[in-house]
Amino acid sequence: MARILVKTKEPKEVQDLRKHGKIIFLSSLVDVVGIETTEAEVEKIKGLVGEDRVRESARGTVQKD
């Protein structure tokens, strides 16, 4: 399984993305959707929305003062 973040431009895109995996995160502040899907579906999503709007999810780090 792969977890990816997709930048969306229109609400309709979220409905289209639901067909390719499980929505695990939907931001109300920025246009980003988190999806859990298979590697094969990741390639389909990249073709659907554009490769530049898809990236792998990663764990952030806390900055030290």
Three-state DSSP state, 7: strand
Is the pLDDT at 62 greater than 90? The verdict is no
From the candidate CATH numbers 3.30.1370, 3.30.460, 1.10.3720, 3.30.70, the one assigned to the domain spanning 2-56? 3.30.70
By DSSP bridging, strand 54-56 and strand 32-37 are unpaired
- pLDDT tens digits, one per residue of 8-30: 998 889 999 999 999 999 998 99
Q: What's the rounded Cα separation, in Å, for the pair 16 and 21?
A: 10
| pLDDT at site 63 | 74
Is the pLDDT at 65 greater than 80? The verdict is no
| pLDDT at site 19 | 95
> 61 falls in which pLDDT band (50, 70, 90)?
confident
